[in-house]
Structures are given as structure tokens and as C-alpha cells.
Amino acid sequence: MTPLEAVLIAVAGLAAGTINTVVGSGTLVTFPTLLFFGYAPVSANVSNSLGLVAGGISGAWGYRRELSGLRSTVLALVPASLTGGVLGALLLLVLPESAFEAIVPVLIGVALVLVVLGPRLNRWAASRRGEGGSGPSPAGWGGPRGVALLVGVLLGGVYGGYFGAAQGVLLVGLMGALLPLGLQQINAVKNVLALVVNLVAALVFLVVQPEQIDWLVALLIAAGSTAGGVLGARVGRSMPSWLLRGVIIVIGLVAIAVLLT
């Protein structure tokens, strides 16, 4: 690895940590970067997931004030994210690499659709709350909306453990529709759930196939994403949403083009 390559991977980690904390979809920065430098798709995904755990920790810590009073809600949702993350990571390791190469462009395409539809999802969620709709309380998870939320978080965890791009957008849209919380509170819960998914997926990779991990890449992404998590928690909310969304879409389209060539 050349010094320039190392710097660019760390910078990609910085951008991913910032984007993950503010919106989600940071993998659409780091994953294409690793592919550009010639890393195999599965190794790139595994190393990336491990490296982004550090950014998840700093980002979740930066949003700790917004988590005030939400302990019971977070504890109710974490098991679904944990289970989904394990299942997604195992799917990544069980399926052949050729299948992963075929599936990833589709996943990125779905992620980009979610990024584009993010504002509509949030507006729809806000209108639902304005109409008097309420999300499930921790004591009422057995109701239809509570079950829908738990199932959605579980499936989001499977997706996040397998690939992860736009997992945050998916979670924000889902919780915005089903929980009576403000957007910043939802974003704080999203950061915790995404951290859980990345952490358990990384642990699965460490135990089952540690040979897929490029430790230097993981450390560079970890260093960059740690700083990015802090940056995202402090100033990311002031970034123009149209600019952030546009950058993600462009990077995602580049990734699809690289994978299909």
C-alpha cells in the first residue's frame, strides 16, 4: 500500500464516519474506494465493516443527549438489530464471492433509491405524527405497529450485516413512521442500532473468517471514521441535505459502474 492510498482510505473513512452519523450510507464512500484500489469485494466489505465500528461508537456518543429518556426503546430494539446483524454477516460468508459480486450492484441501487426517497419518507412520517398517529411504547411491542417495527429493524440488521449501505436511511424512515419521536431522537437511536449491527457483524467475521480481514485497511478506516463520527455529531446536521444526498448518489453510481465492468 502506497502512502497516497493509505491517506485516501483514511479520508474515505472520515467521510463515511461523518455521513453515517448524520444520515447513513457511509459505506457508499469506503466500499467503492477499496474496490478502486483493487481489493476483493468480500475482503473490502469485511474490512470496511470492522473499521466503521469505531466511527459508530464516536457518532453514537456524540448523540448521547438525544438519547435521553429513550433507554427502554433502545433496549427493546437492540436484540432485533443484533440478530439481524449476525444473520447478515453469516450470509456474506456463506454465499460464494461470485454471488456477492452479482448482488452488490443491486444492493447499492436499492440504497440509492432509499437515499433519494429519504425526504419523502421523513415528510410522510411527520404527517403521520401530525395526524395523531403514535408509535408503539416499549410496553406495547405486541401490537401491529410494534411488531412491524421489530421485524423491520431485524430485516434492516440482516441488510446491514450483509452490506450496510443506506441501512441508516432505512432505519430513519422506518422509525419515523412508527415511533412518535423527533428526527434528531430517531437519528440518535439509528446510530446505536447501526453500531450494534456493525459490531456483531465484525465479531462474526473475526471468529469465522479472519483471513478475509485486511487489518491495515480496517485500522485506517477506523482512524478516519472515529474522527468522522465526532465531526458528524457536531456539525453534520448543518450540512445542506441536497449536497450530501447528491454526493452519495454520485459515489453509488460510480460503484455500480465499477462492479459491472
* pLDDT higher than 90, residue 189: yes
Please tell me the distance from the alpha carbon of residue 31 to that of residue 107, in angstroms, as a whole number: 12
How far apart are alpha carbons 2 and 7 in whole angstroms? 9
Question: Given a cut of 80, is residue 48 above it in pLDDT?
Answer: yes
Is the predicted pLDDT of residue 28 greater than 50, yes or no?
Answer: yes
* pLDDT tens profile 140-170: 556 777 888 899 899 889 988 887 777 887 7
pLDDT at 23 over 70: yes
- By the 10 Å C-beta count (0-12 exposed, 13-18 middle, 19+ buried), 207 is classed as exposed
Domain range list for the chain:
3-260
Q: How far is residue 134 from each of residues 125, 228, 243, measured CA to CA in Å?
A: 10, 33, 32
User: What pLDDT, on a 0 to 100 scale, did the predictor assign at position 133?
Assistant: 46
pLDDT beyond 50 at 134: no
What is the CA angle 226-50-5, rounded to 5?
70
Average pLDDT, the chain: 82
The pLDDT of residue 139 is above 50: no
**What percent of the chain has a predicted confidence (pLDDT) above 70?**
82
Can you tell me whether residue 179 is helix, strand or coil?
coil
Q: Is the pLDDT of residue 224 over 60?
A: yes
Pinpoint the alpha helices (H) of the chain: 3-22, 27-36, 41-62, 71-94, 97-130, 144-162, 167-178, 183-208, 215-235, 241-260
- Residues 235-248: pLDDT tens digits? 766 667 677 667 66
Q: Exposed, middle or buried: residue 235 (CB in 10 Å: 0-12, 13-18, 19+)?
A: exposed
Q: Which residue has the cell 459508530?
A: 56
